Structure 1
């Protein structure tokens, strides 16, 4: 896909990976439209912004219609919009909160895809790039719902790529590890907190604070998105950053038992917490 005269749409482009991706695509020659719930903003950007809420059918239809009215085509869709829940036990999120994270992280991609693919089919060409995560192929203790959405993105993307390949459309997934964005600062708190998980929540929040300063810049992910967008023969999956590449290799080649033990060690899952070792009242 040649960047010249190609029209790109990037969701969640007001900050972080989405903003970096939109800017990098614009620099490479794409005509880029970014989206956010707030739409156009006063900040100077190298791309235009459209209002879009990926959880709303009407909002998705309106944004895609407006882009097509202006440009008459769409060549590249980058699905980036998403959010995470602060580290917590899976049972600390209600079913409603589980619905909410899937509504954005997975069904937002489904809505955008359904809105854009008919136009790409008529063109006989197009590319869809979904921002996934290493958590799409690795488990995330105390991040089960977010990890589940990213596993779902992997399965949806791979199946979709097989469906659309003969139509001239390719689908790719980008798999970053930790990235320096405001993502963690915007975590949604679990809505059904339990005292049993208070200590591990505090410990994991401290771990995130230690890891984030060492994380990759969003530009690292943006460069991989550009490479996937321009590739004549794109791969289904692209890791972004050194850490993500190493984790992919470990997942592919390390024995399952060794990988399992490493995850439990990193998260200190077999270290008793103070509350876990506290004797019940009947035993005192």
Structure 2
């Protein structure tokens, strides 16, 4: 992978940081991005300033990498955030727009900025960090799940458009991963008292599951696999839990999957 150029959004911590370091170890020249005003190098990864919610910032980041190297071989769209477990009606439309602007439209901005250059060079790979929530529902995380469903649909559709031009667009789908992502999630901006106890219980359940979750390195390894595969798949499950969820979604009856989700989250039975 020597002389291959990679750009990874949201690389200051968690999955993005682990992925950047793993690609650098594999021989890529890696640029990570952060919203911080004064980014600095992290090991072998050169950090750039980027706000994925800004068209100008996205274009500037791509232009800077091209100025330095003349090409971009790999874009990993990782930047994103979540809303802490809460009922869908506890988030305003403004909060919904904010999470989509980062998790989905941020990916679209970066993709639009890089595709013309990949077309000219006749090659490139775009890896979008999705989630098992891109193919499964998540009660009380409806907005985050919706963004990841959107990421998956966009990625698969775009891959069909670009593969004849030498460009592949793939989705990496982790399950629970032990990072600071949960701690950095936003609280709902329109909390309702009737959901208070349920919110507390769900937050406790998520923290319990994360205690035994795999670390971000498992996602980094999956990214490297997808980035270097001679015949890549459209979707890659990252980690044992994600692989198990993929199999259940594909082969188990819908009623069993539905019941399993509610049991795992310790939700009461439906009234009808």
Indicate whether the TM-score tops 0.5: yes
Q: Give me the TM-score of the superposition, normalised by structure 2.
A: 0.97
CA distance in 2, matches of 1:42, 1:127: 26
CA distance in 1, matches of 2:235, 2:21: 22
Tell me, yes or no, if structure 1 residue 155 matches structure 2 residue 153: yes
SS in 1 for 2:243: helix
| Stretches (4+) displaced over 3 A | 39-44
Match of 1:227 among 200, 225, 228: 225
Deviations 1:59-96 (A, max 9, x none): 11111111111111000000000000000000000000
> How is 1:60-139 mapped onto 2 (pairs within 5 angstroms)?
60-139=58-137
Cα RMSD of the aligned pairs, angstroms, is 1.3
Mapped contact 1:40–1:49 kept (Cα < 8 A): no
Q: Give me the TM-score of the superposition, normalised by structure 1.
A: 0.93
CA distance in 2, matches of 1:206, 1:45: 35
CA distance in 2, matches of 1:92, 1:41: 35
Tell me, yes or no, if structure 1 residue 18 matches structure 2 residue 4: no
| Structure index of larger Rg | 1
CA distance in 1, matches of 2:39, 2:76: 20
Question: What is the CA-CA distance between 1:44 and the residue it aligns to?
Answer: 4.1
Q: Provide the aligned length of Structure 1 versus Structure 2.
A: 271
CA distance in 2, matches of 1:222, 1:27: 11
CA distance in 2, matches of 1:41, 1:159: 34
Corresponding position of 2:144: 146
SS in 1 for 2:118: helix
CA distance in 1, matches of 2:76, 2:41: 21
Corresponding position of 1:186: 184
Mapped contact 1:39–1:52 kept (Cα < 8 A): no
CA distance in 2, matches of 1:209, 1:69: 43
Mapped contact 2:40–2:46 kept (Cα < 8 A): no
